[in-house]
Amino acid sequence: MQISKKINVTNIVIWIVLAVMLLFTMTPIIFMISASMMERNQIMRMPFSWIPESFNRENFIKAVAGNDQSYIFVRNLSNSLFVSSTVAITTVLIASLTGYGLAKFRFRGRNTIFIMIMATMMIPFEAIMIPLYMVVMMLRIQNTYTGLILPFLVSAFGVFQMRQYLTTFPTEFLDAARVDGMGEFGIYWRIVLPNCMPVIATLSILSFRSQWDNLLWPLLVSQTKEMKTIPQYISTFALERNTDEGAMMAAALLASIPMFILFMSLTKYFIGGAAIYESRKG
Partner 1 sequence: MGMKKYRGIEKKQARWGFFFVVPSLLFFSLFSFYPIINAFYTSLFDKRALSKAPPDFLGLGNYIRLFDPSRAASELSFLNSLRATLVFTVGTFIPLLILSLLLAVFISNLSSRKAKKFLQIAYYTPAILSSVVAATIWMIIFDPRGLGNQWVNTLMNTPGVDHRWLVDPVMEQVSTMVIYFWKYIGYFIILFITGLASIPSTIYEAATIDGATKNQVFWRITLPLLKPTVVLVSVMAMLQCLKTFSTQYMLYTNGAPRAPINVITFNIYVTGIQQQYLGRASAMSVVLFLLMLVLTLLQFKTTNSEQVEY
Residues 166-225 that bind partner 1 (CB under 8 A): 184, 188, 209, 212-213, 215-216, 219-220
Q: Which of residues 227-256 bind partner 1 (CB under 8 A)?
A: 230-231, 234-235, 238-239, 242, 245, 248-249, 251-252, 255-256
Least Å from the CB of residue 245 to partner 1: 5
| 212 φψ region: left (φ > 0), alpha (ψ -120 to 50), beta (else) | alpha
Least Å from the CB of residue 148 to partner 1: 13
65 sits near partner 1 (criterion: CB under 8 A): no
Separation of alpha carbons 22 and 39, rounded Å: 27
Out of 6, 7, 24, 115, the only residue in the binding site for partner 1 (CB under 8 A) is 24
Helix (H, G, I), strand (E, B) or coil at 66: coil
Least Å from the CB of residue 80 to partner 1: 9
108 sits near partner 1 (criterion: CB under 8 A): yes
Output 55 or 277, the one with its CB closest to partner 1.
277
133 sits near partner 1 (criterion: CB under 8 A): yes
The one-letter amino acid code at 221 reads V
The answer to whether the beta carbons of residues 73 and 56 sit under 8 Å apart is: no
What is the DSSP code string of 81-149?
A: HHHHHHHHHHHHHHHHHHHHHHHH---TTHHHHHHHHHHGGGS-HHHHHHHHHHHHHHTT-TTSHHHHH
Out of 82, 169, 189, 263, the only residue in the binding site for partner 1 (CB under 8 A) is 263
Identify the helix (H) or strand (E) that includes residue 278.
Answer: helix 267-279
